[in-house]
Each structure stands twice: as C-alpha cells, then as structure tokens.
Amino acid sequence: MTRKAVKGSVIADLLAENLIQDYEALDFEFPDKHVNEVGSEDKEPTDVWEMYFDGAVNLSGNGIGAVLVSPDRKYFPIAIKLRFDCTNNVAEYEACVMGLQTAIEMKVRKLEVYGDSALIIYQVKGEWQTKDPKLIPYQKYLLKLIKKFEEISFTHLIRDKNQFADALATMVVMA
C-alpha cells in the first residue's frame, strides 16, 4: 500500500469508530435570495467612461493602442499600426489622440484618461512645458479635443497598470 492509501484508511477507520450521534447536515439554502450584491445602497450609477492609451516603438515598427471602457464595463479596444517613423513620445500622443477621437465619435461626454506616459499626462495638465517642436502640434490638438467633453481628467499610471493598452500597441507592431 502507498503512504497516501494508508493515511486515507486510517482516517476512514477513525471516523467509523467515532460516529457523531447528533449529526445534522448543513443547510446550504440561502434565505435571502433577493440579496444580489454586498455594498452600500447609496452607490450612484455613473456615466463616466475610462480610456487607457499606450504607444509602442521598437525595431519591428510603431503602433498605438487604446481601450475605451464604458460605465457598464464593456471594453472597446483600438489598435493601429503607424506607417511612419516616430519617437516613443509621438506614438504616445498618437494613441491618446486616437482614443479621444474615438470617444468623441461614440458621443462620450465624461471621460477619465489613463496613460503610463508621464510626459503627455503632465503636459496636457499644463504642469510640464512642451519644448520638442514635434510634440507642440500634438499638444495643441489634444487641448482642442479636450474641449469637446463635459468632464475629462488625466491620470498617470505605472506601466504595470496599463497592460491592456500596452499589449494592444505591442501586438499591432508585431502584425
């Protein structure tokens, strides 16, 4: 007999010798079937969308990825291969622009934008200056797009929290 079989038979013997006289089976019926969620009742439905963006530049090419997330958690991915040489910062701006343009086409009014490019996030917020002549037109265009939303915010994410948009941008470069 294997060691496991011996242990199993010892446990079975122990249980057989020590019967519980007043054993009552557990009741797995959930009495409050009307309860669907644990949480506070003052949770207001939101109409705020989320957008995640990222650009990828490597030896295989250049690509952009963005993901729009609806208030009911439906995902709308965007992935585009760029057919021109560019820097990583230009690719990041292209991704942000494409995401905002798509949100405008989808008639999104309130948007929270997330990206792992500190440069773009802080330039759009006005906290950093845009000095690169290639980026100035992108920043101006982004500021023009921003005016089309009722509410919009920009938040910098660490790279690990932006994996979906990063994966889209990287995938499209490899295609």
Per-residue model confidence as pLDDT tens digits over 42-91 = 445 579 999 999 999 988 899 999 999 999 999 999 999 999 999 999 99
The total domain count for the chain is 1
Asked if the model's pLDDT at residue 39 lies above 60, the reply is: no
pLDDT score at 15: 67
pLDDT score at 82: 93
Can you tell me the distance from the alpha carbon of 161 to that of 155, in angstroms, rounded to the nearest whole number?
12
Position 36 in a domain: no
pLDDT score at 24: 66
Can you tell me the distance from the alpha carbon of 163 to that of 60, in angstroms, rounded to the nearest whole number?
19
142 compared with 163, residue with greater pLDDT: 142
105 compared with 43, residue with greater pLDDT: 105
Q: What does DSSP assign to residue 13? A: H
Can you tell me the distance from the alpha carbon of 150 to that of 44, in angstroms, rounded to the nearest whole number?
19
pLDDT score at 42: 47
Per-residue model confidence as pLDDT tens digits over 12-37 = 777 677 776 666 665 656 555 555 55
Using an 8 Å Cβ cutoff, are 92 and 54 in contact? yes
Position 6 in a domain: no
Q: Which of 81, 86, 45 is nearest to 64 (CA)?
A: 81
Position 100 in a domain: yes
Position 18 in a domain: no
Position 14 in a domain: no
pLDDT score at 173: 81
Check which CATH number belongs to the domain holding 123 and give it.
3.30.420.10
Can you tell me the distance from the alpha carbon of 64 to that of 82, in angstroms, rounded to the nearest whole number?
7
Per-residue model confidence as pLDDT tens digits over 106-154 = 999 999 999 999 999 999 998 999 889 999 999 999 999 999 999 999 9
Give 40's pLDDT tier (boundaries 50, 70, 90): very low
Position 71 in a domain: yes
Range of the domain at 119: 49-174
